[in-house]
Structure 1
Amino acid sequence: MNFLWPQFLWLALALPVLVLLYLWLLRRKKKMAIRYASLSIVRDAMGVGQSVRRHIPPLLFLLAMATLVIAAARPLAVVMLPSNQQTIVLAMDVSGSMRAADVQPNRLAAAQNAAKSFLKELPRTVKVGVVAFAGSAQVAQLPTTNREDLVTAIDSFQLQRGTATGNGLVMALSTLFPDAGIGIDDFAPKSMQRGTPIEQAGKDTKKDFVPVTPGSYTSAAIIMLTDGQRTTGVDPLDAAKMAADRGVRVYTVGVGTVDGETIGFEGWSMRVRLDEDTLKAIANKTQAEYFYAGTAEDLKKVYETLSSRLTVEKKETEISALFALGAAALMLLSAGLSLLWFNRIL
């Protein structure tokens, strides 16, 4: 346990002094007491229980003082608190391989159902955006708190060819930071970037971006779901580095077959294989986690887990108020027992 004001812990040295003072008062009281012919008569009259009781209120008072000393030092502890996560972007794979039925009723339908259940679990104050990616990436729904609009966007997914996981991640980042000028062109050679030389010079003169610690941006997160390998577009690890430099966590979810499966789509036959290594690397680079979902039930559990992870988080926070409350309770108990047993306070 850490303390904001550890110097106040020196007050604990006063506790032994209080103990010595209590023992001195007991001894003084014994000397002033009326002497009986036989002390055994007094002991028999008081009983063992009565003798023990007389020390309980002072002991509780001493514990209360020790607790107050800790409270004065302003202790810190890591506790679970509501997250300040305000925006979550779902980047969902809508490539042709998502029609595979190894996840019932098929991968896409299972992903849609799980995503809609995920929306129900989130607090209404959290904004959610939706990005769909296949051979390219598009924003299906800008971040909003309107759950009906989000459900409509998720239900409107159309399967397409190709898997550009990197593009989906870049589009999700662009959705989170609309004024940052993030785009696919950022990953192209300068000679191939769009715009006139004057426009490109203008980009170069913009204030340089300063990377932050990966995972440090707690106001937003990205959840990327895919079932295949990248076949086109931006390298997903390059896109992950862009997310890491902005402190955004990217939670990755892999669905379908790890070993690979041949699937037909629009007259084409394709071999799809889940690229777990890349998905794990994306999650690790951004200080997030990777989840594998082999069935529809697994996928639902993954989203339930993500919902709980994104709505609460571990934080180091001051808990001096809890110690102060505990000290007050101990003092009240001490005074109450003393009044009940001896008709006096201590």
Structure 2
Amino acid sequence: MSTSEWLQQFAAALPGVDGFDWPWLLLALPLPWLARWLLPARRSTAPALEVPFGDRLGRVTADASARATGGMRWLPWLAWALLCVAAARPQVLGEAVQPPQAGRELMLALDLSGSMSEPDMQLGGRPVDRLTAAKAVLADFLDRRAGDRVGLLVFGRRAYVLTPLTLDRETVRQQLVDSVVGLAGQETAIGDAIGLAVKRLRQRTDVAATDDQPRVLVLLTDGVNTAGLLDPLKAAELAADAGVRVHTIAFGGEGSMSLFGFQLPMPGAGDEIDETTLRRIAEATGGRFFRARDTAELAGIYAEIDRLEPVERPGEAVRPRIERYAWPLGGALALALLAFVRPRWRRA
């Protein structure tokens, strides 16, 4: 058994104490006794007077010292022991409590269809495609999701869950970085993406979760539903029945074409986004519809989503540690006061 374990067992044996925070300080208990035993007595260099009754004089002096202290030489030792116990910080365990944890359960759905390669966005002053801009904004969004459970779903011709709901935001970020246009196909299956997200949000492994807690899906797309088995509006009905709130983001500029190194707008290209259906999906589930035509607008939209009401769920049960060092410290101060007052009181 180690010294630390022995000290903790010693603490558990004390009444009203469950343990010490700094048990190693109890090793200072024998220091005064060791100092008295090991250090040599101080020799006086003053001239000595030899008398034939020195032994009797010594006994008289000792008796006078004992009367002065009232026969309570144990006071300094007990005070030192109480100081060591106070320094070791005795503690007791309080009643178990479950502090609430504020967090959200978010499933992010990202469109990886062929149109996401359209280079009509600006990032850092340079032209980039829509997927690159969306990745940058989503990465910043993930940085602010401390304590949230976040999942990542991508969709094209089919919908796939890359990461289930997790507190490991780094894994979600890495899967986001590895996503490329066409990974899930070139078409757009919005309905299937909503349906899969609803299924995963209902399959939560958090035993503390209840059915009345809201679940959120944030879906970003730049097109219309052109694939999949599930109609988007039917999927919205399923989401509403499951208590899943869907926020939809229509992302994309007015379209552009490259000519001699310049990006020229293409009127009518932005009309390919089905804003009407996306708005109806959001309204049916209690969510909101957003339209982002550039990277700055997209960042503002995710900042707005960041202000969603958090989900409060019970956290892990903990037993708080309550400090009890004040009791032995107060006892040591009382003994010191008694040792100071008692001789004067006896003389009076």
TM-score by length of 1: 0.50
Provide the residue aligned with 2:227 in structure 1. 232
The 5 Å alignment of 1:13-162 reads: 85-104=103-122, 105-122=128-145, 124-160=146-182, 161-162=186-187
Q: Separation in 2 of the partners of 1:245 and 1:239?
A: 10
The answer to whether the 8 Å contact 1:163/1:229 transfers is yes
The answer to whether the 8 Å contact 2:107/2:153 transfers is yes
Partner amino acid, structure 1, of 2:172? L
Q: Separation in 1 of the partners of 2:103 and 2:242?
A: 15
Distance 1:298 1:95, change over 3 A: same
Provide the residue aligned with 1:307 in structure 2. 306
Provide the residue aligned with 1:176 in structure 2. 201
Partner amino acid, structure 1, of 2:202? F
SS in 2 for 1:139: strand
Partner amino acid, structure 2, of 1:249? R
Describe the superposition over 1:96-155 as per-residue Cα deviations: whole angstroms up to 9, x where unpaired: 100111122211011111111111122x22100000000000001111111110100111
Q: Separation in 1 of the partners of 2:215 and 2:221?
A: 20
**Structure 1 residue runs without a partner (length 5+):** 1-81, 181-215, 264-270, 314-346
Question: Larger C-alpha radius of gyration, 1 or 2?
Answer: 2
Partner amino acid, structure 2, of 1:162? E
Partner amino acid, structure 1, of 2:213? T
Partner amino acid, structure 2, of 1:226? T
Shift of 1:283: 0.3
Q: Separation in 2 of the partners of 1:275 and 1:308?
A: 26
The answer to whether the 8 Å contact 1:142/1:175 transfers is yes
Give the paired residue count: 188
Shift of 1:262: 8.3
Q: Which runs of 4+ in 1 moved over 6 A?
A: 260-263
Provide the residue aligned with 2:251 in structure 1. 255
The answer to whether the 8 Å contact 2:215/2:244 transfers is yes
The answer to whether the 8 Å contact 2:103/2:147 transfers is no
Distance 1:102 1:83, change over 3 A: farther
SS in 2 for 1:250: strand
Q: Separation in 2 of the partners of 1:277 and 1:171?
A: 22
Provide the residue aligned with 1:6 in structure 2. none
Partner amino acid, structure 2, of 1:230? N
Moved more, 89-98 or 166-175: 166-175
SS in 1 for 2:203: coil
Describe the superposition over 1:287-328 as per-residue Cα deviations: whole angstroms up to 9, x where unpaired: 110111110111111111111124489xxxxxxxxxxxxxxx
The answer to whether the 8 Å contact 2:202/2:242 transfers is no
The answer to whether the 8 Å contact 1:257/1:274 transfers is no
Which residue among 153, 163, 167 is the counterpart of 2:188? Answer: 163
Partner amino acid, structure 2, of 1:156? D
Shift of 1:86: 3.4
Q: Which has the higher helix share?
A: 1
